[in-house]
A and B are shown apart, each in its own frame.
Chain A
Amino acid sequence: MNNVKKLFGHSLVKWALGGVLIAFLALLPMLAIDIPGVFPGPTYTPGTLQLLAFSMLIAALALSYHLIFGVAGLLSFGHALYFAIGAYGLGIALRHFGLELLPAIIVTFVVGLFVAAAVGALSLRVTGISFAMVTLAFAQAGSVLIRKNPGKLTGGDEGLALDTTHIPDLFVGVLQTKNLYWLCLAVLVVVFLVSSWFERSNAGHVVAATRENELRVRVIGIRPYFVKLLTFIIGGVLATFVGMAYLLLQSSATQKLASADFTLTLLVIVVLGGVGYRWGAVIGGVIYTLLDQRLTAFASSDAVSGLPDVLRIPLSQPLFILGTLFILVVLFLPGGIAGVTARLASSRQRTEDPRAVLEELG
C-alpha cells in the first residue's frame, strides 16, 4: 500500500495522470457517455457540451481566484470585475469597434491588465477587511458603470450580445459547440498551467510566505506589496482571459457578471472545493456549475413537487441547497471537498494545509 502511495505522490505520475485526464476530456465530444440527471444528454450533444464547457470556464475562473485568495491570502470581493472586463471588453471591441478577433482579444487583455494593475496598486495599500471593502467598492463601481450603459456600449440591463461578424465560423453556431468546448478546455488547461507555474515560482513562494507571516518576509528585505500586486494582476488577467471565452461560449454578457454576488459565488466555489488546493478550485467550479444547472431541474421535478410544503419550498430553491451545503462545509469540513479526498488518499499534492490557511487569514 505504501508503494502505491509513493507512486501516486510522485509528481511525474501526477502530470501523466493529468495528461490522460485532458485527453479523455478532449475526446468526450466523440463519445456517448450519458449521466442522466446530471447531463441533459449524452456527451456528444451540444447541450451537454455547453454545460461541460461552462463548468470548465467557471473552474478556470475559480482557479484565478484561488491564486489571489488561497495562495496570496487576499480576500478580494471584486474579482468578478476582471471577468466582466473580459466578457464586455471583447464584446464591445467586436461590436462597437469592429475589430477582428485577435486584435480584439489583445485589446481586451491590455484593458484587463491595466485595470487590475490600477485597482491592485490602490487597494493593496490597505489590508484585511479594508482591502476587501475597497475591492468591493471598485467592483460595485464597475457594475454600476455597466448598468448605466455609457455611450450605449454595454447594453445596460439588457446585456451585450456577441457580434459574430469577425469571428471565424469555427466558433459560431450550435453545430460548432464542440469547437467551443475544446476552446474552453484549452482555456482551463492554460489557466491551470499558469497558476501552477506561478505557485512554484519564487514569486509564488514569497507571496505564500507573505500570507503566512508578512513580518518575516519584510525582515529578509522583500517588499510584500509588490509580490501581492503581481499575484493580483496575474489573477485578474487570467479572469479576463476566462471572461473572453465566456462571451464566445454564451454569446452574450450581462451585468450580473460584475456583481458582488458573483464574486461571493466564486468565494463559495473556492471554499467548497477546498482553499489551499489547486484542484479544489477546479472541483468546486465543476460541481457548482453542475449543481446550479441540475438543481433547477431537480427542484422542479416530480420528486420534489410531491413533498409537503415545509420540505418542498426549501428544496425547490437551488441556492438554498447550495448555501446550506456551503454552511455545512465551512462548519465541518474546512478543507472542502478536495480536503476530504486528500485525507482519504493521503496525497501530498497540496499547496498548503487549508485549516492553516484559513486560520492564518483570520
Chain B
Amino acid sequence: MSTVVLLLITGLGLGALYFLVASGLSLIYGLMGVLNFAHGSFLTLGAFAGWELARRLGSDNWGTFIASIALGAVVGAIFAAATEFFLIRRLYERHIEQVLVTVGLALASVALFDGIWGTDPIYVTGPKWLGGTTQILGASIPNNRFILILAAVLVLLGIVLFLKYTRYGLIIRAGVENRSMVTALGIDVRRAFTVVFAIGGAAAGIGGVLASSYYGYVAPSIGGSLLIFAFIVTVIGGLGSLSGAAIAAALVAVLQQFANFYLGGTGDFVVVLLLAVVLLVRPSGLLGSKA
C-alpha cells in the first residue's frame, strides 16, 4: 500500500514537471502551429539563472528559493519572447521552417550552455525541508514533490485565469480555434504569439528551477531530456489543449513510475508505447480538437 502511495505521489510530482514544460508547448502549437524544439532550452536557461542567483544569495533559505523561481520564470519568458520575435515571426505561416529554426536554436543554445557552464552536472542544494521527506500513509515522500505539484497547480490556475479574464487570453482562446477569423476581426494575432511564447517560456523557466531541485543538479542536458517527455505528453493530451496536457502529464508520469517499479525499469518504453497507441487510436489526442 505504501509503495502504491509513494509511486502515485512521486508520479504526480514528475507529472507536475512534465506539465510545466508541456503547457507552453501545447499553447504554442495550438495557437501557432509551431512545434517548438527549443522549449527545453527555455527550461535549461531558467534553471541556470535560478542556480546562479541561489549561488550568490546562499541557497538554503526559502527567500532565495522563491526568488530563483521568479528569476527562472522571467528569464524563460524573455528568452522565449525573443525567440518568437526574432526567429519565428520572420517565418510567418511557414510551419516546417519554424520547426527547423527551433531545432537550430536548440542545438546552438545547448552548445552555448555547454561552453558557459560546462557539460558536467552541477549539484545544487536548497532549503533544508526540500531535502527531507514526509510520511503519508506509510510512504516516505520526498518533499520537493509537493513543491512541484503546488507549482504546477498554481501555473495551471494562473494560465487558466489569464486565458479567461484578459483580452490577450480571449484572443488566444479564439485563435487556437480559428486563427484566420481572429485576423478578420481586425486583431493582429501576431502579438498574441509573443505573449504565448512568453507564457510558455515562463512556465518552462519555473520548471527548470524546480527540475534542478528534483534531480539535485543543473546541467545543459536537462532541458532536452525533459523535452521528449513533454512532447509525448502534449501529443497524448491533444495539441492545443491545456487541460489535456495536465491530464496527460499526470497519466504519463504515474504510468512511468508504476512501470519502472513493477515492470523492471520499462517506464520509458511504456510511455512511448502509450504514445503510439493513442496516436493510432485517436490521432488528435485525448482532448485535442486539431487533427
Flag if A326 contacts B104 (CB, 8 Å).
yes
Q: Does B239 contact A (CB under 8 A)?
A: yes
Stretch from A26-34, A43-51, A103-111, A134-142 that touches the partner = A134-142
Give Cα distance in the complex from A144 to B107, angstroms: 22
11 contacts between A and B (CB under 8 A): A126-B283, A271-B100, A314-B115, A319-B108, A326-B100, A326-B103, A327-B104, A330-B101, A330-B104, A331-B101, A362-B98
**Which residues on B sit within 8 Å (CB–CB) of A126?**
279-280, 283
On whether A125 and B280 interact (CB within 8 A), knowing A323-B104, A323-B105, the answer reads: yes
Q: Does B57 contact A (CB under 8 A)?
A: no
Q: Does B215 contact A (CB under 8 A)?
A: no
Contact with B along A295-327 (1 / 0, CB 8 A): 000000000000000000110111110111011
Complex partner residue of A267 from B91, B103, B239, CB under 8 angstroms: B103
Flag if A331 contacts B91 (CB, 8 Å).
yes
Q: Does A148 contact B (CB under 8 A)?
A: yes
Flag if B279 contacts A320 (CB, 8 Å).
no
Give Cα distance in the complex from A293 to B114, angstroms: 18
Residues 91-146 of B contacting A (Cβ, < 8 Å): 91, 93-101, 103-112, 114-116
Least distance between A284 CB and chain B CB atoms (Å): 13
Nearest CB in chain A to that of B227: its residue: A260
Stretch from B9-17, B45-53, B185-193, B270-278 that touches the partner = B270-278
Give Cα distance in the complex from A141 to B90, angstroms: 35
Flag if A323 contacts B111 (CB, 8 Å).
yes
**Which residues on B sit within 8 Å (CB–CB) of A334?**
97
Stretch from B156-164, B201-209, B228-236 that touches the partner = B228-236
Q: Does B174 contact A (CB under 8 A)?
A: no
Flag if A327 contacts B231 (CB, 8 Å).
no
Flag if B104 contacts A324 (CB, 8 Å).
yes
Give Cα distance in the complex from A140 to B272, angstroms: 7
Complex partner residue of B279 from A133, A318, A327, CB under 8 angstroms: A133
Q: Does A145 contact B (CB under 8 A)?
A: yes
Give Cα distance in the complex from A268 to B106, angstroms: 12
Least distance between B282 CB and chain A CB atoms (Å): 10
On whether A140 and B96 interact (CB within 8 A), knowing A133-B275, A323-B108, A327-B105, the answer reads: no
Q: Does B177 contact A (CB under 8 A)?
A: no
On whether A319 and B111 interact (CB within 8 A), knowing A129-B35, A359-B94, the answer reads: yes
Q: Does B268 contact A (CB under 8 A)?
A: yes
Least distance between A14 CB and chain B CB atoms (Å): 29
Chain A interface, number of residues (Cβ within 8 angstroms): 42
Q: Does A153 contact B (CB under 8 A)?
A: no
Q: Does B4 contact A (CB under 8 A)?
A: no
**Which residues on B sit within 8 Å (CB–CB) of A271?**
100
**Which residues on A sit within 8 Å (CB–CB) of B116?**
313
Least distance between B169 CB and chain A CB atoms (Å): 25
**Which residues on B sit within 8 Å (CB–CB) of A267?**
100, 103
Complex partner residue of B94 from A148, A314, A317, A362, CB under 8 angstroms: A362
Give Cα distance in the complex from A271 to B116, angstroms: 28
Give Cα distance in the complex from A145 to B265, angstroms: 11
Which A positions have Cβ atoms within 8 angstroms of B?
75, 122, 125-126, 129-130, 132-134, 136-138, 140-141, 144-145, 148, 260-261, 264, 267-268, 271, 313-314, 316-320, 322-324, 326-327, 330-331, 334, 358-359, 361-362
A interface secondary structure, majority:
helix
The 10 closest A-B pairs by CB, nearest first: A323-B108, A323-B107, A319-B111, A326-B104, A320-B111, A317-B111, A327-B104, A362-B95, A313-B115, A137-B275
Contact with A along B29-55 (1 / 0, CB 8 A): 100000101000000000000000000
Flag if A361 contacts B280 (CB, 8 Å).
no
Which B positions have Cβ atoms within 8 angstroms of A?
29, 35, 37, 87, 90-91, 93-101, 103-112, 114-116, 224, 228, 231-232, 235, 239, 265-266, 268-269, 272-273, 275-276, 279-280, 283, 291
Further pairs besides A320-B107, A323-B105: 13, Cβ < 8 Å: A125-B280, A133-B231, A134-B275, A134-B276, A134-B279, A144-B269, A148-B266, A148-B269, A314-B112, A317-B111, A323-B111, A334-B97, A362-B96
Least distance between A61 CB and chain B CB atoms (Å): 17
Give Cα distance in the complex from A153 to B112, angstroms: 36
Flag if B272 contacts A138 (CB, 8 Å).
yes
On whether A318 and B111 interact (CB within 8 A), knowing A327-B104, A327-B105, the answer reads: yes
Least distance between B106 CB and chain A CB atoms (Å): 7
**Which residues on B sit within 8 Å (CB–CB) of A316?**
115
Interface centre among A138, A322, A326, A327 (most CB of B within 10 A): A327
On whether A137 and B232 interact (CB within 8 A), knowing A144-B268, A330-B101, the answer reads: yes
On whether A362 and B275 interact (CB within 8 A), knowing A145-B269, A148-B265, A267-B100, the answer reads: no
Give Cα distance in the complex from A103 to B95, angstroms: 45
**Which residues on A sit within 8 Å (CB–CB) of B91?**
330-331
**Which residues on A sit within 8 Å (CB–CB) of B37?**
264
Nearest CB in chain A to that of B285: its residue: A130
Least distance between A338 CB and chain B CB atoms (Å): 16
Least distance between A140 CB and chain B CB atoms (Å): 5
Least distance between B181 CB and chain A CB atoms (Å): 20
**Which residues on B sit within 8 Å (CB–CB) of A330?**
91, 97, 100-101, 104
Complex partner residue of A320 from B90, B96, B101, B115, CB under 8 angstroms: B115
**Which residues on A sit within 8 Å (CB–CB) of B99?**
75
On whether A319 and B110 interact (CB within 8 A), knowing A144-B268, A144-B269, A330-B97, the answer reads: yes
On whether A322 and B279 interact (CB within 8 A), knowing A144-B268, A314-B112, A358-B94, the answer reads: no
